[in-house]
Amino acid sequence: MSITIPDEILMATRMTETEMKQEIAVMLFQKEKLTLAQASRLAGMNSITFQHLLASRQIPVHYDVEDLEQDIQNLRKMGRL
C-alpha cells in the first residue's frame, strides 16, 4: 500500500518527504504500533541510525523478551545462528 501526502501538506509542515516519513515512523514506534525494525524501514534508516534518532528525542527503545525471541528466530532463518 502506498500513501500519498499532498505537496501542500509537506509545504505547510515545512518538512521534506524524508522528514515526514521519519516523523510518522517515530510516532508509530512510540505508540508501539511498529517494531524497531519496521519503524526503521519506514523511516528509510538502518536500525542503529533510527535508534540515534530516538535517543536524540529521549524516546526509549522498548525491547522485551518477545523481541529478543523474534530476533533469534530471524537470525536462525538467515543462517546466522
The pLDDT tens digits of the residues spanning 4-54 come to: 889 999 999 999 999 999 999 999 999 999 988 899 999 999 989 999 999
The pLDDT tens digits of the residues spanning 66-77 come to: 878 887 888 898
72: left (phi over 0), alpha (psi -120 to 50) or beta: alpha
pLDDT on residue 47: 87
Domain spans of the chain? Answer: 7-77
In which residue are the cell numbers 546466522 written?
Answer: 80
Q: Which of 13, 19, 43, 18 is nearest to 30 (CA)?
A: 43
